[in-house]
Structures are given as structure tokens and as C-alpha cells.
Amino acid sequence: MPTLAELLSAYPPEVDVTPRQVREARTGRTRQLVVLDDHASGTQSVAGLPVTTAWSQEDLKWALATGAPGVHVVTGTRAMSATETEDRDFDVTRAALAAADELGVDIDVALRSDSTLRGHYPLETDVVASCLAADADHHIDGLIVCPAFPDAGRITVDSIHYVRGERDIYHPAATTEYAADPAFAFDTSSIPEWIEQRTGGRIAASTVTRMTLAQLRSGIDAVAAILMAARGGMPIVVDAASDSDLRALALALYRAEESGKRFLFRVAPPFIREYLGQDRPATLRGSDIEALREGGRAEGAKHGLVLVGKPAGLTDRQLRELRRRRGLREVEISLPALLDHRRDMHIDEVVARAAQGLDAEHVVLRLSRDGSSGDTDYSLDGRLASGLLAIVRKIVAEHPLRFVVSRGGAIATTVARALGVRRAWVRGPLLPGAVSLWQAEGGPADGVPFAVYAGTIGDEYSLTDVVDLCANVPIPPRQPRLVPPTVAIAPRALQARTAPAVADAGEADSTRAGADAGASETTEAAKSKDAPAASHLAVIGLGATGLPIAACLAETFSVVGFDIAEARRELAWRHGVTSALSAREATDGANLVLLNLRDAAQVADVLFGDDGIAAILAPGAIVVLCSTVGVAEAREIATRLAASDIHLVDAPVSGGPDRARRGELLIAVGAATDALAVAEETLTTLAARIVHVGTTPGDGQAMKIVNQLLAGVQVLATAEALSLARALNLERDAVVDFLRLSDTASFVTTERAERMKAAHSDTTTAAAPVHNPLAVMVKDLGIVASTAYHSGVGVPLAGLTEQMFLLGQRAGWGEADDSVIIRLTEPEERH
């Protein structure tokens, strides 16, 4: 794939056009630009313009009466159905024409849409064009299609649209994750071909006017000549690779318009700025935002509210960095709960948790991964949007907010309504071209800084930087990575294989990993992968927790993994992990090794066996022990590694496969400070919280043993409680919902209660996903009992719990999920 320099090497340099030249060309021009924004993030490139989230004639009249050269109207259509979009665009366009007529002004219309070719095309341009055509003064000669957003790495060259990936490599848009959008999928990067496909052949690619980069950079006269030839509202696809290219287009458009031509626009955010001749807005500072709070509802408020979509990809990485740098409370909004009988109860629960959190720290509201909606926030359908609306409105009514940050345009549109932001001003960017700050004009959000963050732009630090700016605290310098990130721009759906869900340990018996699976076990997956990089992370053990850990790390780092089971290596490959054929192969060249193995014997075999990896690790290497093996065992391993100048970071993990995949584990660490410093970025990627409990390996194990005592007892107690509830003829869903809200609620009780719903029959026991094998619980409780005995502490409840789980193991359920223990606590006739 090419770099930008390689893409542009055959083209002339850009025509040097300044914003001042564009403003001068606008001198005496009274026509105002009405921008229909398909979600709220489209204001990210401008400043000093009015924005309205309503579309009555009075609201449009207010915006136009300000005299601003452009006004934004947030329609929110990208999250709507086609029918809803058609009605919304018709209403907005008619209201804009009526308001303009009342004020005696003339308007042009632009449809600000996505810079990666998503959105309702051609529906929106057809609807707006038909409304304008009904007005004799608004004939449309041409439709300008220009999705370029150079700041964000979206450019068009020779009518092919490109998206910048990591390491500044440019990928054709159809090979990126955006092309697999569930609502607006596409399979061509050629914009004329995209037009033909989206119009169902009504507009053939061969009939689309193409304004190439060579033409655009040949001079304003040549560009204006192309525009002067526009007829019948046909599309004109415009190349652009820089802001100056967009300004050259603006100058040519003004020349054509002076001759009577009129255009409709389907464009990305920066076109609006360049067409209006605005200078690039200065990035706002924390002190600027502080001034907005004076005299408003945010004055004196201590903490802010952050809203994000489903954790995936960039969202995941940004949340991890936010957790690492700032204290915060996370509250999950369950999509399924908003769609069933739990709706009202869940809304109240979320509001209560958020309000409690805001008393002490910033609060993040995030959508759950589950539910019928896709992974993009464009699928925020009516019921989900109304639920989010109710949640935010209640929080705003009950608690003062220092700021609100909304990540993702569809979510921001809903949040703006919840905040009562009907009319506002765009004050400028918090990050260049990525995040826009609004100041509401009156209403419940008066004086509350509202940051609208486009969900697909920025890096893992961007969200935290925005929160710091809004909180008016210094942004620390960015630290270099331990290892280089992987290049993974193309979605799994567009690659040769389709990725299944992670964490089905039932697909293969592989929570253990031997030191060597043998060269004869070569798989097609292993053959097709590149050789391990010289600097990478190695993950040994790809079982129920090890696989999601490797998959999570692979989103940020170069990861090579190994498991003794071929099926697990295949699954890991599908999730971006390079598969190795032995532990030594995976470890060769690694600067950090994570062990996710079942017990101390497996750890010792992998490290010190006949083909152990300790023999090939370089002095100073770091081994991270994520398994629960026991205090004495961890200290013995550390001592043996230290003899080769290899450092052990004792870091047993808690939270299960789902949290591992999301990077939300709880990790107890026992390690020297300098060793932890080397491993910290990797652990932070995996963890919602890291607790450094001591400086000696074994200290982390000690904390995990205490945790496992409580976990085992709680799992058994939950099974008994649900069995009693069933005997009392209580409906299980209602019981689980009640327990979730009660004082006895914990992650273990609520999460296991959900899993126990499906653990009553032999069939579901065999087929259910395995989050934590029962045999692992038996092993952990054995460690608890042994540790307590040698410490002189009686643990009778833990001992009884261990015996119950041993009975389950003897019944043949060792590799089933530990929630199957409920089958021992319920009467046989109830199964």
C-alpha cells in the first residue's frame, strides 16, 4: 500500500490558495450556506457558526438571522431509516427555504456526510434537490461529491477514495473497516462506481464528471471551465488531497456561481471551512473552556460525563488510556436491557450509579457490546436512542456537570437533545479537525461545555486529551510505545477468513499449552502468516482467558501466540495473532512474554522443560505470569528466572474472557518497580485497574488467592440462592434483575447468575460457552485451602465450597463452565 508521497508523486504540486483569497472572492456575496449535518460531529472543522438541533422555521430563522456565512442543522439522519431520512430532509429543507424567504436572504445547501463514503446516498441529495427544484430560484446544475478530509487522512486521487492507516499507509476505502458498516456497506473505492452502485445503475459511472487532481492543480480557470459545463444536477466527483485543493475548488465554484450556476454539495467537514474562507480555527485551551463555565450551570461542578459507543477497536484503546491516566467510574448501558421488560429498572440503575460516581470522579457511560445493533454507533435505533435520551436527561436533572464529552456522531446527536441543546454556537476545536466544542444558547446545558467527538478520528490518546482539556488539567507528554503497533486497517470481514467470537473454550480443550506442539502440526493458518517480528509480545496459552488476552493485545501490539491445541492457534490467527508452532518459536525475539497457563506444573514445563523458553530469553527479558499458581510457586519461578537475569512480573488476572477481550481486567501485581515499568503499557492495555500490591513476585498471587476464596464461595452461594428461588416458583429473570440491584450484588453474583440460567440441562451444559472451566475453580480453591492451612487460618466455607466443586468435577463437568455447579444445588426432578 502507498504512502501519501507515493500516491501524489505523479501529480503537480497543489495550487497555493489561502483562506484570505477565498474570503475576498466572497466579498459582496450574501448567499448563506445551510449545512444539513447527518450527525452532530460535522462541526469539527469550523468555528464561530451557529448550530441547531431543531428544524422548525423559527429555529432556521434564528440561525440565518445571525448573519453567519454558514449554519449547521443537525439532522441525525445517518442513524435513521430511509423513510425517516426522507421525511427529515424534506422538513429541514422546506423550513430553511421558508425562513430564508421570510428574512429575504438566499441560500445554498450542503449535505455534510461521512468522509468514508457512508450515509444515505443518493436518497438525501435526491430529496433536497427535489425541494430546491420546486423553488424557481434554486435550480441545481451539478452535485459536488467531495468526501476528502485531509486532516483525518481521507483523500481522493484519480477518483479513488483512500483512508490513512497506521504508519501513514493509505488504503483504498473499500478495504477498510468502514466498508463493512452494517447499514452502508460498499465494495468499491472508485467514487464513480460507488455512485453507479448506490443509484442502482440510474447514474452510470461513465456519465459521472471527474475532476482529477491533475485538473484541479492546473489552475482555477481550468477548474471553473469544468464547473461551467455542469448540467442537470449530475454528480461531479472532485479529487482532493490537501486543504489548498479544497480552497482551489471554492474559488472555481464562486466563478461558476457568478455566471449563474448553482450547486448542491455532498461533502466532508473541511469543505465547509474552506468554502466559507475560514482560517483554520485555533485549538481551544483549558482556560478558554473554563471561561465558558462562568455564570452557567457548570460553574462549581467538579466532574464531567463522557459517553461512548460500543467498546471496539479505537474506542477500546481510547478507554484503556483514559483509565490509565485519569480516575473515572465506568457505567455500562445494556442494550438488551433497554429493549425488554428491564428497561425502566435499568435506566434507573444506570442513573443511580452515574450520579453516585459523579460525586467522586468523572463518569463514563458506554454501550454494551451485546444486543442486536452493529458495532458502529449508526445503528442507534429509536428505542435505544430514547433510552439513552432518558438516562442523560435524568443525570443532568439530578447532578451538575463540569462538562459533557460525547464520542460518536449518532450518540452526540442524541446527547445534544438530552442536554436540551436546541440552539448553540460552535466555539472551535479541542483537537484539530476532530473534536468540536459547542456552547448552548440557553436551556438546561447553558454554560456546560459540550464536546462533540467524531468517533472514527484520532488515536488512543485523543479521548483522554479531550477530557483533560474540558477539566482544565495539564495534558502530559505522550510516552513512546514499548513495541510498534500492528498495521490492521482492513476489517476481518473483508479478509480471507471471518473471525468468530472469542472465548469459546468449548471449541477446543486448550487451557493448557505445552512447550512444543511439534513441527508436524503445521496448519494453513501458520503457513500463511508472516514470521514473527523482531520485537513483539509473546502470549503462551490461548485458552478461555489467554485467547481473548492475545486478541485484545493484537489490536495495539504485534503479538505472536502459541497453544498446544491447533484449533486455538487457528482462532488466534483469525483475531490478528501470529500463530507459532512452539512456545520457543513464539518467544524468539520477544521482549515480553505473557503466560496464561492452567497451573504451576505447566508454567514450569514451558519455562524450564526440555524445550523451555527461559533458555532462549535474553538477559533483562520480562515474563508476565497471568495464571493463578500459588505464592510459593511464583516465588520459586522468580528465583529460577533471576538466575538468568530474567524478571518475573507476578500479575494474575481477574474478570473472565469478556473483560479480557475488552481490556477491562483487574490485575494484582507483585513485582519490582522497574520490572513493572517495562510491562505497564501491556498490562494497562488489558486492565481497567492495576493494583500494585507488593514488590515481590508472589504478592500478586497472595491477593488473587484472597479474591478466589470470595469468588468460589459467591459462585456456590449464587447457585444455592437461584435454586431456592426456583423452588419458590420465582421467575428467574426477575430474580436476577432484583439481585443485580440489591446490596448483595457483585460482578461474580450477577455475571454467574446470568450464566446459570442456561446451566440446567445436559444439553446446555455441553454446548454453553466456557468462561471459566470448573476444573480451574477446583484448582484455585485447592490453592486457597493449601495456603490457608500453611498460614494457620481456618477457612471452613472455602473448604466446603471446594468439596462441592470437586463433586462437579467427578460428575464429568471439569471442562464445562463453572456455572454448571447449580446442577448440584437444585433437586434432580427440577432439571
> Are 682 and 759 part of one and the same domain?
no
Report how far apart, in Å, the C-alpha atoms of 118 and of each of 56, 115, 191, 685 are. Answer: 27, 7, 12, 30
Q: Which of 103 and 533 is assigned the larger pLDDT? A: 103
Res 310: pLDDT: 67
CA–CA distance, 76 with 412 (Å, rounded to integer): 9
pLDDT-derived band at 765, boundaries 50, 70, 90: very low
Which residue, among 355, 351, 338, 356, has the nearest Cα to 391 in the 3D structure? 351
CB count in 10 Å sphere of residue 767: 11
What residue numbers bound the domain in which 535 lies? 504-697
**Are residues 337 and 258 part of one domain?**
no
Q: CATH number for the domain including 644?
A: 3.40.50.720
Per-residue confidence (pLDDT) for residue 492, from 0 to 100? 27
Q: Is residue 134 part of a domain?
A: yes
Q: What gap in Å lies between CA 577 and CA 591, rounded to an integer?
A: 16
- State the DSSP code for 761: S
Instruction: Name 747's Cβ contacts closer than 8 Å, sequence gap at least 6.
Output: 655
Cell of 595: 503466560
Taking only Cα atoms into account, the Rg of the chain, rounded to an integer number of angstroms, comes to 29
Residue 633: band (very low, low, confident or very high) from pLDDT cuts 50, 70, 90: very high
pLDDT at 827 over 70: no
- Residue 453 is predicted with a pLDDT of 84
Question: CB within 8 A of 731, min separation 6: which ones?
Answer: none
Q: Compute how many other C-beta atoms are within 10 angstroms of the C-beta atom of residue 512.
A: 18
Residue partners of 807: CB distance under 8 A and separation at least 6 = 824
CA separation for the pair 802, 811 (Å, rounded): 14
Give the domain-ending residue among 697, 716, 737. 697
Any domain includes 724: yes
Residue scoring higher pLDDT (742 or 804): 804
Q: 247 pLDDT exceeds 60?
A: yes
717 and 684 assigned to the same domain: no
Per DSSP, which regions of 641-786 are E strands?
647-650, 653-654, 665-670, 687-694
> Would you say residue 70 has pLDDT above 80?
yes
Mean pLDDT across 215-219? 95
In this prediction, residue 391 carries a pLDDT of: 93
Q: At what angle do helices 774-791 and 699-727 cross, to 10 degrees?
A: 120
Question: What pTM value is reported for the model?
Answer: 0.62
Statement to judge: residues 736 and 693 lie in one domain: no
pLDDT tens figures, 333-388: 888 888 888 889 999 999 999 999 998 899 999 887 654 433 333 344 567 778 88
First and final CA of the chain: distance in angstroms?
58
Mean per-residue pLDDT, 75-102: 94
pLDDT reading at 576 higher than 70: yes
Is residue 425 in some structural domain?
A: no
Q: 597 and 739 in one domain?
A: no
pLDDT score of 502 more than 70: no
Higher-confidence residue: 119 or 432?
A: 119
Residue 112 within a domain: yes
- 232 vs 520, residue with greater confidence: 232
User: Cα dist. 230→142, 245, 486, 569, 612 in Å?
Assistant: 5, 20, 45, 57, 72
Co-location of 340 and 375 in the same domain: yes
pLDDT(793) > 50: yes
> Which DSSP state fits 811?
I
Q: Is 704 a catalytic residue?
A: yes
What is the distance between the alpha carbons of residues 219 and 288, in angstroms, rounded to a whole number? Answer: 40
- Between CA 374 and CA 118 the distance in angstroms is 14
Same domain for 70 and 213, yes or no, is yes
In a domain, 577, yes or no: yes
Catalytic annotation, pick one of 310, 394, 704, 779: 704
Residues 642, 713: one domain? no
Q: Between these two residues, 650 and 756, which has the higher pLDDT value?
A: 650
Same domain, 37 and 153: yes
Please indicate, yes or no, if residue 282 is contained in any of the structural domains.
Answer: no
Segment 462-490 shows an average pLDDT of: 62
Mapping DSSP onto H, E and C, the string for 534-592 reads CCCEEEECCCCCHHHHHHHHHCCCCEEEECCCHHHHHHHHHCCCEECCEHHHHHCCCCE
Q: Is residue 209 helix, strand or coil?
A: strand
If one counts the domains in the chain, the total is 4
* pLDDT of the residue at 514: 41
Count of other CB atoms within 10 angstroms of residue 282 = 11
Contact (Cβ atoms closer than 8 angstroms) between residue 665 and residue 690: no
Cβ atoms of 255 and 53 closer than 8 Å: no
Q: For residue 535, is pLDDT > 80?
A: no
What is the reported pLDDT for 752?
84
In a domain? residue 183: yes
Per-residue model confidence (pLDDT) at position 701: 96
Q: Are residues 461 and 600 in the same domain?
A: no
**Residue with grid cell 446490596, as numbered in its chain:** 743
